[in-house]
Amino acid sequence: MKTTLIAASLALIVSGCATDGGVNKTQAGAVIGAVLGAAAGNQTGDSKKERRNDRVVGAILGAAAGAGVGRVLDNQEAELNQALEDEKIARQVEVQRVREDLLRLTLDSEISFDFDSAEIKPAFRNSLDKVADVLVRYEKSDVRVVGHTDSIGSATYNQTLSERRAAAVERYLADSGVAASRLSSAGAGESQPRDTNDTEAGRQLNRRVEIFISPNE
């Protein structure tokens, strides 16, 4: 009976979140939340009966929380895609759902920074303004900015340049109204290439800044 109740609760949550014929991120979040909630509930209670009851409550509450997180990221992803449509067409920005609980924006460094510089190009500030506008309206998310370079030059220099560029984007978002408490930045230097460093096309892909967005609740 308890299992049936969990399944019925999940079915209601999932069916309420459906937006198309498949399983979207909101639905997946509900299922994941239910599993985690049930597992947490299983650790409470002094008797077998109490633990069964706590599993049911945990599954229901976990499913609701997971669905909420998924829905927020679904909406945030959709708004970023809409706001950055021109940049995506121009291959200046990519918006990707890396995990159910993680969004990644990839900014082309060729467009956002001059060579050997950590100063954001004036022409790219409008694009970052669009990103900041969405982030400001979704307060319950954390934002981590990570800089990357190609392998031209020393690893030490590239590490420093990647940190400076990530910090510049972080500062810009903060100056645009995103709470500093939600922001962090780091540099990966040349350590995480997306493509080969043996060609200019590959090196251009490797020179980038990534913005990771995840729920903070």
If one looks up domain 89-215 in CATH, what number appears? 3.30.1330.60
In this predicted model, what pLDDT tens digit does every residue of 137-179 receive, in sequence order? 999 999 999 999 999 999 999 999 999 999 999 999 999 999 9
Q: Which of 83, 94, 186 is nearest to 138 (CA)?
A: 83
- Confidence class for position 53, pLDDT limits 50, 70, 90: low
pTM of the model: 0.71
pLDDT score at 72: 87
Helix (H) or strand (E) holding 25: helix 25-41
Q: Where would I find the H helices in 84-154? A: 85-89, 109-112, 122-137
What is the rounded distance in angstroms from the CA atom of residue 108 to the CA atom of residue 209? 7
Range(s) for CATH 3.30.1330.60 in the chain? 89-215
Asked whether the CA dihedral 202, 203, 206, 207 is positive or negative, the reply is: negative
Give Cα 131 to chain centroid, integer Å. Answer: 13
pLDDT score at 49: 64
What is the rounded distance in angstroms from the CA atom of residue 153 to the CA atom of residue 208? 16
In this predicted model, what pLDDT tens digit does every residue of 21-42 receive, in sequence order? 445 555 555 555 545 455 555 5
